[in-house]
A and B are shown apart, each in its own frame.
Chain A
Amino acid sequence: MAQLIDGLVLCHVGDHRLAVRAQDVDAFEHDPLGATYVGERFGDDPTPPEGVRVLRCGAQRLAVDRLDVHGGVALLPAPPLLSSAFGGGILGFVEVRQLLWPVVIPERL
């Protein structure tokens, strides 16, 4: 049975996209100093461009190009093989705006 998520933070990093549960994010910040650019995980240049947004998630700070806050969405669970292949960092997928967004755990990213 599908799990309902109250809030999602939709992140755009270059041509890539991912989603983070709102409850995993403490706040949004502007200064990217000391933050990890998420595009580095997709093999892009580790230097973040201007205008990035920073997600402060506990002690971790993640920089993305653009983000958006979205309301309650049903979580489509990921297959156990896929979840274990990613080290348990991916929770599942959500469908927003007719696109499929992977929902990840910031601490595991």
Chain B
Amino acid sequence: MKLNALQGRARWLLLPAHFAASAGVALVVFHCALTIDFPRASLGPFIGTVTAAVLTFNTLSHILMLAHLQPLQALNAGVARPTRGALIEAALAAAALPERVFWVVLSAVLIGATLSTGGWMLLDGATHPPLLRVVSAGVCMAPLAAALAFVVTVPRARVVHRQLLEAGLPVTDLYRALKKHLLFERRWLACLGIAVATPLALAVDLGVWRYERAVAGVSDAPLWAIVTLLGLTLLMVGVLTVRAGAALGEPLEQLAAETTRLLAGRYGAPRFIAAEYETRAAAAAIATMELQLAELLGGLDGAAVELSEATLSLAADDVAGRAQLETQRSLLDATGETTQALARSAYEIASSAQRVTELATATLLTARAGRDSADGFLRAMAEVREGNRAIADSVVRLNKRVQQVGRVVEFIDGIADKSDLLALNAELEGNKAGDAGRGFSLVAAEMRRLAESVMSSTREISGLIEEIRDATNAAVMATEAGVKTTDSGTTLAARVSEGFSRIVDHANQSSTATQSINLATSQQQVGTDQLVSAMREILQGTEVSAATAEEMRQAHDRLIALARDLTDTVTLFEAGAQVPGGEAT
């Protein structure tokens, strides 16, 4: 940040205003002293009054102008940081200063001189009316002094703008911030009119005055004085004309130089052209255009390079692309045949899937019937098992009864045995008794035979009981074996039923799966049909692509030529690196 260059620039900007105002007041005073017949005692107080009024007015206007330039003074004093906003505010204050200086100086000369004359008349008690002369002198000199202050302040404001740019204010921001008042004709034509009208008005005024003096027979003013007044006025007009021409010509020359540079194709950072009104707007437009052109050229350069590389690459790929297109066409032919075969296979698969679905459904029904049969067999086995258990219980009860019968028979056999032994003893005693016991022996023998018959019967019964016992034991064992067999059969039947249930579940799942497969194969068949159709369309599209590729090859050739032309055109320009701060001219 180069803020040192701005040191004291505020007062420096106001110096032309004070100079112009002083010169204007001096001419007014000189004009009044020449054309008003002041008593010798009143001339001094008049000059003093006017001078004091003008000095007071100048002081007040100076204070006001300094207040207007407060952003610039804040930068100078270091109160404000040199941020973008502070720099822009300072630039705006400097840009608006010439206009304000014009009106302040105009007021200082015209109003100050008029009011001071009026005040002097009241204080001096003058009987002659000099106010009209003072007003006419002010009217003649005030615009000239104000225009002179304006044209001298304008270059100084431009200097301040350049120094603000050096302090870091971007050119584009400065252009954007400055007001685009299109007052070129009004301002500069006003200066031109003042430069022309002021000498004429002064000459007319002096002529009228001299005529009135001649008619009244009053002595005329000395010629040298009139010539001096006119000469000083013309001098100021000349200074005004020269400074106005310089203030007008300098930015136009810079603008022409910038335009010439742009026409030469040397683009870079936009330069600041210190100017006002339409000239500044034109400079801003040119700077913006330069920025956009530089960016455009940068983009065009890159685009041209990329376009050239891309077209070259496209041209290189074009040959390979055509070969690939031929390969693609042959592959598409083969793929089309494959998809047709795939469609046929899909149809056969769909038919097979339909048959499989029917078989799976039949399997499911059979499995359900088998499961029902297994369940029925399981229930029958349970009934047989219960029957075997009932038989076994009956046989056990029968065996117990037979055992009870055996014990009764044994009891009877024991009784018969004892009876036999008793009869045997009786027969023995009868034989011992001789003839007397012979009848007794016969009875005893008969009883013995009965007892032996009983014993024989009991032995037979015991044999039968043994046979029954063996048979019942065999029956019990058989029924127990039957129960075990029915248990095993029940277990096997349960396993068979469970197996059939699983078979039913699996068959159900198989049926569902086959139905899904059938649906999927149907969809696959539709898909393959669509695929065949799509492949046919792709093949047609490939034929179209081949024709398009040929057209693209021709377009590539034209594009390569266009890229070369564009590159050659872009290389004619010298787009330099862009500096954010820009460059001031």
Chain B residues with CB under 8 Å of A29's CB are: 421
Q: Scoring A residues 1 to 12 as 1 if CB is less than 8 Å from chain B, else 0, what string do you get?
A: 000001111000
Asked whether, in the complex, the Cβ of A69 is within 8 Å of the Cβ of B424, the reply is: yes
User: Is B397 positioned at the interface, with any CB of A under 8 Å from its CB?
Assistant: no
Chain A residues with CB under 8 Å of B441's CB are: 7, 69, 71
Q: A88-108: which residues lie under 8 A (CB-CB) from chain B? A: none
**B425 nearest CB neighbor, chain A only:** A28
Count, chain B residues at interface, CB 8 A: 13
Q: B406-439: which residues lie under 8 A (CB-CB) from chain A? A: 417-418, 421, 424-425, 427-428, 431-432, 434, 438
Asked whether, in the complex, the Cβ of A22 is within 8 Å of the Cβ of B431, the reply is: yes
Shortest CB–CB separation between residue A97 and chain B, in angstroms? 15
In the complex, A22→B426 CA distance in Å?
A: 12
User: Is B237 positioned at the interface, with any CB of A under 8 Å from its CB?
Assistant: no
Cβ-neighbour of A30 out of B418, B434, B438 (below 8 A): B418
Q: Scoring A residues 28 to 41 as 1 if CB is less than 8 Å from chain B, else 0, what string do you get?
A: 11100000000000
User: Is A23 positioned at the interface, with any CB of B under 8 Å from its CB?
Assistant: yes
Shortest CB–CB separation between residue A43 and chain B, in angstroms? 27
Asked whether, in the complex, the Cβ of A71 is within 8 Å of the Cβ of B431, the reply is: yes
Asked whether, in the complex, the Cβ of B421 is within 8 Å of the Cβ of A69, the reply is: no
Chain B residues with CB under 8 Å of A28's CB are: 421, 424-425, 428
Chain A residues with CB under 8 Å of B418's CB are: 30
Shortest CB–CB separation between residue A52 and chain B, in angstroms? 11
User: Is A19 positioned at the interface, with any CB of B under 8 Å from its CB?
Assistant: no
Chain B residues with CB under 8 Å of A69's CB are: 424, 427-428, 431, 441, 445
Chain B residues with CB under 8 Å of A27's CB are: 425, 428
In the complex, A90→B220 CA distance in Å?
A: 235
Cβ-neighbour of A22 out of B417, B421, B428, B438 (below 8 A): B428
In the complex, A51→B458 CA distance in Å?
A: 14
In the complex, A9→B431 CA distance in Å?
A: 10
User: Is A61 positioned at the interface, with any CB of B under 8 Å from its CB?
Assistant: no
**B427 nearest CB neighbor, chain A only:** A69
Shortest CB–CB separation between residue A62 and chain B, in angstroms? 14
Cβ-neighbour of A71 out of B421, B424, B425, B438 (below 8 A): B438
Chain B residues with CB under 8 Å of A6's CB are: 431-432, 434
Chain A residues with CB under 8 Å of B421's CB are: 28-30, 53
In the complex, A53→B267 CA distance in Å?
A: 161
Chain B residues with CB under 8 Å of A22's CB are: 428, 431-432
> Which 4 A-B pairs give the minimum distances between C-beta atoms?
A7-B431, A69-B427, A22-B431, A28-B424
Q: List 12 A-B contacts (CB under 8 A).
A: A6-B434, A7-B431, A22-B428, A22-B432, A28-B428, A30-B421, A51-B417, A53-B421, A69-B427, A69-B445, A71-B431, A71-B438
**Chain B residues in the interface with A (C-beta under 8 A):** 417-418, 421, 424-425, 427-428, 431-432, 434, 438, 441, 445
